[in-house]
Structure 1
Amino acid sequence: MNLKNYLEVSPEIELALKENKPVVALESTIISHGMPYPQNVETALKVEEIIRENGAIPATMAILNGKLKVGLSKEEIDYLGKKGLKVIKASRRDIPVILAKKEDGATTVASTMILANLAGIKIFATGGIGGVHRGAETTMDISADLEELAMTDVAVVCAGAKSILDLGLTLEYLETKGVPVLGYKTKELPAFYTRESGFNLDAKIDSPEEFAEILKAKWSVGLKGGVVIANPIPEKFAMDYNTIHNAIEEALKEAKENHIKGKESTPFLLAKVKEITKGKSLESNIELVFNNAKLAAEIAKNFVK
């Protein structure tokens, strides 16, 4: 079957890629599953605006009516925001079924990387990547994001891995798969809501230009897979380490008691942490996404030079 039967790239993105202009991929799970309407839509449009202000073109991804969409209109973003949790959270394994049934899907980190790669987009901005869940030695609960990073040539700008995860095991997994985990002006892995985690990264990189050079070098010599670009949350929006640690412990305990696992666990834990921190974690989440969008636009500009 022809890929054109399934893939729809917006005219703006198509032209930008043809003319070698910087484009930044964006996911849509943050819209449908990340926060309530209309805040989800406002945040998504603001992220797009930040990317434009910093000289790149945003390409929000989703699956709509069985089509892989690269670059959404405001109306499509609003549709996803209103439909919310009724939209399927779509990772790699879900894509064929959603396409065949002509359903809607919100793209995770893994599926956004797939769509970006199909369209030819190399830089992607998100909040935090998925990873190895706590207790994975018995549950085998490991995010598909890690496997995607091992094989798909897209760089992911994030505030590290979500702090509800086992960060040490997540880094070990990425190392085994040969995925570079690089810090922007830091040698320590940021842990989403906080700037520190106690875990060292592969390298500290001080400029968007240097990141662009590293990506070109990696893919030019045929080293498959992505790169994690860890960008710490801005200091004024970072949360206290102990506050967030205690909130996560409480949320994990509740998830275990309610037998919540698999793809339900991350949205449940993030919602629980938001409740425990009285909404402060959501504010931090939004600000770190804005911060990542800005850095991704800078890297994209340098990458196409």
Structure 2
Amino acid sequence: MKKFMNEAGSLAADSLDGFVGAHDDLVAFGQDRKHVRRRVLSPGKVAIIAGGGAGHEPMHVGFIGKGMLDAACTGHVFTSPTPDQILGAIRETDNGAGVLLIVKNYDGDLMNFEMAAEMAVSDGGHRIETLIVNDDIAVERTARGTGRRGVAGTLVVEKIVGAAAEAGLDLFSLKAVGESAIAATRTMGVALKGATVPQTTRETFVLGETEMEVGVGIHGEPGRSRQDIADAATIASLICRQILDDLEPAQGQRILLFVNGLGATPPSELYLMFGLARRFFEAHGLVVCRKLVGTYATSLDMAGMSITVTLLDDASLGLWDAPVHSAALHW
């Protein structure tokens, strides 16, 4: 395995150091370098905080900025940030209007964000609400277990909620906006190669020359099924059909179509998949009125991609279109 790194254990910290240096007009380290926050906070605005393990960049640190996140907490590779990291971010960004935590639906993230929220309420009197993103349809809905994972659709939720916070909505109104965005969003991914974790120097799963992993997560987990690789049109149809069946949108429904690279997929292939997905959904009576293509929610160097669809109404469309200025999103 070849990687640009000093030591595996310091990769996340070294990467964050470079990120903050590259975007120091937008972001700064928080106290003790345990989180990254906006360089200039907005008085009177509800603070929006997200986070997760390293290895998913530019999510979440790349979304810190006007119109999106106020702070992000990064753990070690594929490891949740600790409660003290999250608590520090809450203390530094809460201007008195409260804090909304956006958490991907994984056990470690759920536990550590919940602990931090409890400490912030009991020790500091902060007002905290939490959104749990679970857009990944590759995981079946069950009465037991954590349930569906939070993956690339988290970006959509952070953008919509961030815009609403910038517009001055209060904490409880923001939570309602976020819950609506989560309910309207579905994602599914496929991989051609597993992620290579620095600490182990091994791929998280190994595929044969003619195999693909369908329904992968963003921590190198195996997917829902291992299948023979197919052409791009067949793969796009497979993913889009499952999203369509899960969402059950009405004819003429407006959607955001987001094609995301998982780390090692070139732009040419992502645009190819976008074109195929767009044709699929338009052939099924949907209106693709907003689009996003690129590498935003990664799994280290996994060769793969995901497709995310969000149902849009006038309100969510306006929030998606609202200005954003972060390292990874800017319009």
Q: What TM-score, normalized by structure 1, do the two folds share?
A: 0.32
Q: What TM-score, normalized by structure 2, do the two folds share?
A: 0.31
Higher share in helix: 1
- Which structure would you say has the larger Rg? 2
Higher share in strand: 2
